[in-house]
Every structure is written in C-alpha cells, then in structure tokens.
Structure 1
Amino acid sequence: VVGPGGSISAGRVVAIGRWDSAPVRREVRRARAEGKLIDLTYGHACRWAFFMDTGHVV
C-alpha cells in the first residue's frame, strides 16, 4: 500500500528514492512534465518516490 489509499505492484518497482534528495526531485519534475507522474499522496506530504519499469514515477 502506498499512501492512504493507493497501491502499486512491487514487481514493477525498479528503484525507490527519498523525496528530500535533489536528483529524485528532478526526476519527479521531469515525469510531471512528460505526464508520467502518478500522485498517490492525496494531499499528504511526500516522503518517497517509486520508479517503475514503465518510466512512471509514483
């Protein structure tokens, strides 16, 4: 389970990064610009970013 109500397939995760890392934030901005960001925070603070094998960032 990710966030207060989301879930992802653990088999598709290729990397996990802490949100306070500058490289992770850059990748999240890139994913948002490309339409590949999936936001499961439901308004809560983000602590981790999951990088999927499809190129999406959760």
Structure 2
Amino acid sequence: MGPPRDYAFAAQFPNWIVFSPGMAPVLAVGGTYVLWIALGHGTMRLIAGPAGADTLRRGHPQRL
C-alpha cells in the first residue's frame, strides 16, 4: 500500500517529492515500509510481550 500511495502523492504535489524512474525506487520505498512495520511490531512485542500472554484477551486460557 505504501508505494502506490507515495506515487499518487508525488503526482499530486510534484514539488514536494520526486521519484526516479524504474523499479529501484518502488522496491526501496516498499522495503522501507516493511522495515518500519517490522521495527514497530518488534518494539511492541519487546515492551508488551506476546499477544497470547495477554491476560485481557478473549477466548481460550493462556497458552505460551
């Protein structure tokens, strides 16, 4: 979802952001989004712990 949104934004505001032609910028933008999502998820997991250990979750008893 990131690269299409960024390219649409660049088309609407060409003075704010410019991408080079080709697949390399698309892959770089996509890779950056994946990196940031993984970093955010890892940070939440580090701070809050695994979702299965949450005492407020609905459903089955705790399984680790």
Is the pair's TM-score, using the shorter chain for normalization, greater than 0.5? Answer: no
Larger fraction in strand:
1
Q: With the length of structure 2 as denominator, give the TM-score of the two structures.
A: 0.28
Larger radius of gyration: 2
- In terms of fraction of residues, the more helix-rich structure is 2
Relative contact order (C-alpha < 8 Å, sep 6+): which is higher? 1
TM-score w.r.t. length of structure 1: 0.29
